[in-house]
Amino acid sequence: MDVTQLDDTTLMRAIAQKQELALGELYDRYGRLVYTIAYRLVRNPESAEEITLDIFTSIWHKAHTYQPDQAQVNTWLTHMTRNRAIDRLRREAARPHRHSVSWTEVSTEPDNQRESPETAVHLTLQQQKVRAAIATLSEEQQEVLALAYFNGYSHSEIAETLNQPLGTIKGRIRAGMQKLRFLLQDV
């Protein structure tokens, strides 16, 4: 079986059947994504590598728990990675040195060198639409969304970090997400 031709869901089924090549292909597709998310949260290359290894080891043992009707594979990986990195930060009682993320630095695309030119163009157009939508948000909304979704802060931690009332933070996050949902309906 040529695992490079399998879609992500079928690849997960193959991993659940303990096909090592399938796990290798999943790593080829999403290893960079997992590492990048982990690194952006923990700000330490060694810790990010350990988290990446932990995620793919976990997938090997728990691929059968993946439910395609609940999330796409890349979303599932992103969620697992974010949770694992936050757990590590809490254990080490460490926080990233800066409080914001430049939206131009954020990349959620898999490291897949085999994608067709049409797919690459489509992904680029989607990224441009997302960045344009984010640019329409206020600086305050951009800041709280970056802290929540890319730095892994809870609403309370954001309020404390920015010295703002919790209700204000929740309102900014809610308003920012509603605006993004509206602007990105067709993406």
CATH number at residue 138: 1.10.10.10
Token duo for residue 78? 């992103």
Residue 174 lies in a domain: yes
Q: How far is the C-alpha of 82 from the C-alpha of 110, rounded, in Å?
A: 16
pLDDT in tens, 34-67: 999 999 988 889 989 999 999 999 999 999 999 9
Q: How far is the C-alpha of 8 from the C-alpha of 5, rounded, in Å?
A: 10
What's the pLDDT score for residue 65? 93
Collect the ranges in the chain with pLDDT lower than 70. Answer: 93-115, 187
The answer to whether the CB of 38 falls within 8 A of the CB of 81 is yes
Token duo for residue 66? 């993946």
pLDDT in tens, 154-165: 888 888 888 889
Residues 1, 77: one domain? yes
Residue 108 lies in a domain: no
Number of structural domains the chain divides into: 2
What's the pLDDT score for residue 112? 52
What's the pLDDT score for residue 158? 87
Burial label, 28 (beta-carbon count in 10 A; 0-12, 13-18, 19+):
middle
- The residue range of the domain holding 158 is 116-187
Residues 128, 78: one domain? no
* CA distance readout (Å), 130 to 42, 45, 74, 187: 25, 28, 17, 8
CB atoms within 10 A of CB 81: 24
Residues 129, 85: one domain? no
Residues 24, 79: one domain? yes
What's the pLDDT score for residue 93? 57
What's the pLDDT score for residue 92? 73
Token duo for residue 53? 């290894």
CATH number at residue 77: 1.10.1740.10
Single pTM value for the model: 0.51
CB atoms within 10 A of CB 35: 19
What's the pLDDT score for residue 94? 41
The answer to whether the CB of 55 falls within 8 A of the CB of 46 is no
Residues 55, 139: one domain? no
What's the pLDDT score for residue 27? 95
